[in-house]
């Protein structure tokens, strides 16, 4: 099999250097709530550390007073994304989604439910303008995903990504008080790139469960038989071509997000105040780069491991103001 590279825009992903992850000490919930609930901030931080370690690393670049709110938003996103894997059937999943719809309304009305994430979001909303419709949009998209987890076209998956990952970025821009059409446009593309790369990273997991995460229009184009992927993984005919095309689309969105900072006199540099939000692009670029090195074999075991170069890459991007 010949070596592949991203070619749609004539750009390759950057090869990066090494650095060891710093170890994380043990964390424990505190229970200073009168109803015996875990401390909301600690609960959210621990949930993100456990299920979205890349975002956990990015948190350190947010201003200290904003970090608890950052973890609240990210924990909300993680909680909803985990629903399909934590319920036994769609009906229960829909009940969970309705709980969060009601929670969003309650938070806006000053009556959050006694759930640590809801309480943390309420505290965050007290200090920042976090539009409720963004939260509702995420809930609605995750609810729809329960009933139709696979996508026929790239366009429908892109729409889903904009309603989930991109909308989380809109909330983070609001958290930092950074309204801008240019920033929102860049965040939209970055969110799509993040969703696509996350799905590629999770392809082996979903294949074992009999689910195909690559849109059908791509798998059909390369004559991929889904049952073959579920049984044979990387040895299924055409799956490498499908992964390559899907990854290229993700990479194109990442490049478009970068290009947005070449306008408005920014010279390709991310404004310092917005850097924490757009550093979330670094883990996405990191994974796509490693996938390229693996010749687009998404089933390569090493791709499931944390890259110990990532903390250094985040710091380098922060000081260079580029991602």
pLDDT mean across residues, the chain: 90
The tokens describing 232, both together, are 């044979």
> What average pLDDT does the segment 105-119 reach?
97
Q: Is 95 strand, coil or helix?
A: helix
Nearest to 46 by CA among 16, 22, 62, 25: 25
What fold, for 30-149? Farnesyl Diphosphate Synthase (1.10.600)
Per the CB < 8 A criterion, the answer to whether 214 and 246 are in contact is yes
Instruction: In the chain, list all ranges with CATH 1.10.600.10.
Output: 30-149
| CA triple 298-169-199, angle to 5 deg | 15
For residues 19-36, average pLDDT? 41
Torsion of CA 34, 35, 36, 42, to 10 degrees: -80
* CA–CA gap between residue 222 and residue 78 (Å, rounded): 32
Residue 57 and residue 306: Cα distance in Å, rounded? 12
- The Cα 218–Cα 235 span in angstroms is 17
* Rounded Cα distance, 118 and 121, in Å: 5
In this predicted structure, the answer to whether residue 264 has a pLDDT above a threshold of 80 is: no
DSSP letter at 153?
S
Residues 6+ apart with CB under 8 A from 55: 48, 74, 280
Q: Which two tokens stand for residue 138?
A: 């995420």
The model's pLDDT over 155-174, given as tens digits with 9 standing for 90+, comes to 999 999 999 999 999 999 99
Region class of 150: left (phi > 0), else alpha (psi between -120 and 50), else beta: beta
pLDDT score of 9: 43
Residue 145 to residue 28: CA distance in whole angstroms:
33
* Predicted local confidence at residue 263, as pLDDT: 81
pLDDT level of residue 5 (50, 70, 90 thresholds): low
pLDDT grade for 62, boundaries at 50, 70 and 90: very high
Burial (CB count within 10 angstroms: exposed 0-12, middle 13-18, buried 19+), residue 238 = middle
Specify the 3-state DSSP secondary structure of 284.
helix
pLDDT the model gives residue 38: 84
What's the mean pLDDT in 183-193? Answer: 97
What is residue 44's predicted lDDT score, i.e. its pLDDT? 98
For residue 3, pLDDT over 70 is answered with no
The arithmetic mean of pLDDT across residues 291-304, rounded, is 97
User: In this structure, are residues 278 and 186 in contact, taking their beta carbons and an 8 Å threshold?
Assistant: yes
Confidence of residue 11 (pLDDT cuts 50, 70, 90): very low
What's the pLDDT at 239?
98
Provide the percentage of residues in the chain whose pLDDT is more than 70: 89
């Amino acid at each position: 099999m010949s070596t592949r590279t991203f070619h749609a825009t004539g750009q390759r992903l950057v090869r990066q250097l090494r650095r060891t992850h710093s170890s994380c000490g043990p964390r424990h919930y505190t229970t200073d709530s009168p109803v015996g609930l875990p401390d909301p901030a600690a609960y959210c931080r621990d949930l993100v550390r456990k299920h979205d370690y890349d975002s956990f690393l990015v948190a350190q670049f947010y201003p200290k007073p904003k970090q608890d709110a950052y973890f609240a938003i990210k924990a909300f996103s993680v909680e909803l994304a985990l629903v399909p894997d934590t319920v036994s059937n769609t009906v229960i999943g829909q009940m969970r989604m309705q709980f969060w719809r009601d929670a969003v309304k309650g938070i806006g009305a000053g009556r959050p439910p006694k759930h640590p994430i809801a309480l943390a979001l309420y505290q965050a909303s007290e200090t920042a303008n976090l539009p409720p419709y963004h939260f509702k949009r995420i809930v609605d998209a995750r609810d729809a995903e329960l009933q139709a987890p696979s996508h026929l076209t790239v366009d429908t998956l892109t729409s889903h990504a904009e309603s989930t990952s991109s909308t989380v970025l809109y909330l983070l821009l609001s958290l930092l008080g950074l309204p801008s059409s240019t920033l929102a446009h860049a965040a939209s593309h970055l969110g799509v790139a993040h969703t696509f790369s996350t799905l590629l990273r999770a392809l082996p997991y979903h294949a074992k469960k009999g689910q195909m995460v690559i849109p059908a229009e791509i798998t059909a184009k390369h004559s991929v038989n889904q049952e073959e992927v579920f049984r044979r993984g990387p040895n299924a005919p055409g799956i490498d071509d499908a992964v390559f095309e899907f990854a290229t689309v993700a990479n194109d969105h990442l490049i478009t997000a970068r290009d947005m900072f070449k306008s408005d006199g920014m010279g390709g540099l991310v404004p310092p105040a917005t850097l924490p939000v757009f550093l979330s692009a670094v883990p996405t670029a990191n994974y796509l780069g490693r996938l390229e090195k693996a010749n687009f074999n998404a089933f390569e075991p090493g791709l499931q491991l944390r890259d110990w170069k990532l903390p250094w890459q985040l710091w380098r991007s922060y000081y260079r103001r580029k991602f």
